[in-house]
Chain A
Amino acid sequence: MDAESAKLLAAGISMGVGSLGPALGLGMLISKALESIARQPEVSGDIRTNMFIGIGVTEAVALYAFVIALILIFVA
């Protein structure tokens, strides 16, 4: 395997594997948040705000993988 195809393969793997964890995490996070909202609709505003903070933090992990993939393709 030459270096170029190795890079592309690595980029694909990093994106695929790297988005697996955040996808599961986002699913859990949002399902729990919706559960909480269903249980206590009166604090839905607070829960939603914190859910978005959590989404932002969780999603960042997938984006690190995305950046690594970009670096592998275009920079390395």
Chain B
Amino acid sequence: MNRRLVLVAYLLVGLVALAVLAIIPGGEREEFDVAHEFELQPIVELPSIGPVDLSINKAVVYLWVTTAILVVLAVVIARSIKPVPSRFQYMMETIYDLARNGIVGSVMKSGQVTWFPYIAGAFFFVLVSNLIGLVPLPFAEHNQFGFYAATANLYVTLALALCTFLFTHYAGIRKNGFFRYFAGWAPSSAPPVLRQLILVIHAVSEAFRLVSLSVRLFANMLAGHAILGVFFAMALIFQSYLAALALQMGSVLIYLFEIFVAFIQAFIFAILSAVYIGGALDQEH
């Protein structure tokens, strides 16, 4: 009896609170443009060398934060490594093992030792970059806290994909020789005309790998951040505390999903790099 009363009281209070939230006017209506969140303004102006403007902007800061975190992790690991692992070391070993056996070991047939540092480095770089994109850092306009990810910028991911692209062909040429590598793009058993066609198609697909690798990562991170931004901003647009409450609850779910996406995208980027490099090393004839 007593319990039921308490329950009813809670329910009433909750309903009243919801009604109050629904009735009282929200804050001032603010203009919000999601695209604005992804615009880059130089923070420190630096002289440009030729066409290359080396000004420090938000994306560069995020890149440096990523690198700093990785360097600190590496140094801490190198200093504190023990045969019997601590929890931290065990966690690092697990992620390392994922890169070693889950990505490189399961996909590449040869050249595992040679190419492991690059692929694992890419995995960790993209992973950390994606994850710190979900941490509010004070690099938004007027040093406000905001979400941004270096990998939500097409040029960053394009540079990363370019590395994979160049390393793929470098690996293929070094292993198979220049002419044999390009000849290996098409099956030698095909008739000559068809063979040339296949060569062209393969070249196009190689270029598209570059595009898809960079755009996949970029678009995933951008879409995630855009949805998060829209959820946060809709509270301002609706001008209602009730809507704000519901939207924040939804944004928590999206945030959790974004953590998953950040991990999956880093995994896919690394595993596709491994697939491409492995494919260039062991060509099918």
Residues of chain A at the chain B interface (Cβ within 8 Å): 45-46, 49, 52-53, 55-57, 59-60, 63-64, 66-67, 70, 73-74
Contact = CB atoms under 8 A, between A and B. Distances in A.
10 contacts: A49-B103, A52-B268, A53-B271, A53-B272, A53-B275, A59-B220, A60-B215, A63-B215, A66-B219, A74-B35
Nearest to A66: B219
Contacts of A52: 264, 267-268, 271
Contacts of B103: 49
The 4 tightest CB contacts between A and B, nearest first, are A63-B219, A56-B268, A60-B212, A60-B216
A74 B33 CA distance: 11
B165 to A, nearest CB: 15
Given A52-B264, A53-B268, A63 B106 contact: no
Interface in B202-237: 212, 215-216, 219-220, 222-223
Contacts of B219: 63, 66-67
Majority secondary structure of chain A interface residues (helix, strand, loop or mixed): helix
Indicate the member of A45, A60, A74 with the most B CB atoms within 10 Å.
Answer: A60
Contacts of B268: 52-53, 55-56
Contacts of A73: 35
B102 interface: yes
A45 B220 CA distance: 24
B216 A56 contact: yes
Contacts of A67: 215, 219
B108 to A, nearest CB: 12
Contacts of B107: 49
B63 to A, nearest CB: 22
A60 B269 CA distance: 12
A56 B215 contact: no
Given A45-B106, A46-B106, A63 B271 contact: no
B216 A66 contact: no
A64 B215 contact: yes
Contacts of B102: 45, 49
A60 B272 CA distance: 12
Nearest to A45: B106
Contacts of B215: 60, 63-64, 67
Contact of B216 (A45, A46, A63): A63
A23 to B, nearest CB: 14
Contacts of A63: 215-216, 219-220, 223
Contact of B223 (A57, A60, A66): A66
Contacts of A57: 212
B51 to A, nearest CB: 21
A72 to B, nearest CB: 13
B283 to A, nearest CB: 19
Nearest to B269: A56
Nearest to B272: A56
